[in-house]
Structure 1
Amino acid sequence: MITIRPARANDAEALPAIEQSAGLAFRAIPELAWLADGDNVSVERHYALIAAGGCWIAADEEDRPAGFLSAGIEGDTLHVWELDVRLDRQSQGIGRALLERAVADARRRGLAAVTLTTFRTVPWNAPFYRKFGFRVLEDAEIDGRLASLLSDEAGHGMALDQRCAMQLDLR
């Protein structure tokens, strides 16, 4: 049984380990296997996202985090920074439940959209988000904020032709 709840400050320390575990799934894709050993979001950054009210936890029966979604409000948009589920808990609907909660919160706040950047063809990336109604933004649709994020990702070794910005329109 998983419960989706707002993250609390004492959850922050557990989140990098969940991100690390989730990243192990990339070992199944030879050209992206290096991501399994990549850097994780810092505990300090998690504290900041939690304090801003943009982080939700998928907690197990003992209230331990098994997954999380971190996001931030950028103008009239909720931007998803990270969605991770521990490798041993993947394919159980936890990521879906976290995303549904974040989208519901964005609607409640009256935001216009939810955005994110992700891999175009990795099954648990863009194809997963398309099932929720997200669409890939093309060229002129990509605003300066998203273009900057994609550029930063390219600077960290993620090929631009493999990445995309996606948006779910709420209005």
Structure 2
Amino acid sequence: MSFVVRRARHSDAAALPAIERSAAELFRVDPALAWLADAPVPDAEQHLQAVRSALVWVTEHTDQQLGGFLRAVQVDNQLHVEELSVSQHFQGQGMGRKLLLMAIEYAAERQLRAVTLTTFSDLPWNAPFYQRIGFSLLTPQETPAHLLDALNSEAAHGLPIERRCAMHLELKPQP
């Protein structure tokens, strides 16, 4: 399947909630996390704000259908991935990987120190997926403040903190 990764446009915002909801359906395979499939997601206006103020990339299929998106923000000379979602119909086709590689390339071009994220440590499409790309788990002592804040916020929203982890990918300085 052919698709491109590009920066999100304002007109893309309306499609992003459906992609996020569809991606969340995967949580139904884990009874303890199945509730996430029914949890609210940011609406189109919130996604539009992110397109305006954050870094958002989308995957676009050759028929102009959007299949996934990645939202990130720059924090302390690092690019923090806030969300990576791929619609169920497009999962397993490399869209998530391509979105992540685009974010890594963006961070490297700007000579940022690392790319960071928080995720589930035990779901195959979460921490193990990121580890295959080169991300490392951070110990609590290594975890920077912005990731500790993210983990605490996730716990406050009902995510099981014992299943969450912080990860980073160190970037080599460009000569």
What TM bracket, shorter-length normalisation?
over 0.9
Q: Answer whether contact 2:54 2:71 (CA < 8 A) is retained.
A: no
Identity of aligned residues (%): 44
Aligned-partner SS, 1:30: coil
State the distance in 2 between where 1:51 and 1:110 align: 22
Counterpart for residue 165 of structure 1: 166
State the distance in 1 between where 2:51 and 2:111 align: 20
TM-score (norm 1): 0.96
The residue identity in structure 2 corresponding to 1:109 is R
Counterpart for residue 117 of structure 2: 116
Q: CA deviation at 1:53?
A: 5.2
Counterpart for residue 52 of structure 1: 53
State the distance in 1 between where 2:111 and 2:48 align: 25
Q: Answer whether contact 1:49 1:72 (CA < 8 A) is retained.
A: no
The residue identity in structure 2 corresponding to 1:5 is R
State the distance in 1 between where 2:27 and 2:9 align: 28
| Structure 2 unpaired stretches of 5+ | none
The residue identity in structure 2 corresponding to 1:127 is P
The residue identity in structure 1 corresponding to 2:123 is V
State the distance in 2 between where 1:158 and 1:87 align: 22
The residue identity in structure 2 corresponding to 1:99 is L
State the distance in 2 between where 1:130 and 1:39 align: 28
The residue identity in structure 2 corresponding to 1:34 is W
State the distance in 1 between where 2:45 and 2:151 align: 23
The residue identity in structure 1 corresponding to 2:118 is T
Counterpart for residue 131 of structure 2: 130
Aligned-partner SS, 2:32: helix
Counterpart for residue 100 of structure 2: 99
Counterpart for residue 153 of structure 2: 152
| Structure 1 unpaired stretches of 5+ | none
Q: Answer whether contact 1:6 1:53 (CA < 8 A) is retained.
A: no
State the distance in 2 between where 1:73 and 1:45 align: 18
Counterpart for residue 10 of structure 1: 11
Aligned length: 171
Provide the aligned C-alpha RMSD in A.
Answer: 1.0
Q: CA deviation at 1:49?
A: 2.3
Where do 4+ consecutive residues of structure 1 move more than 6 Å?
Answer: none
Does 1:34 find its partner at 2:39?
no
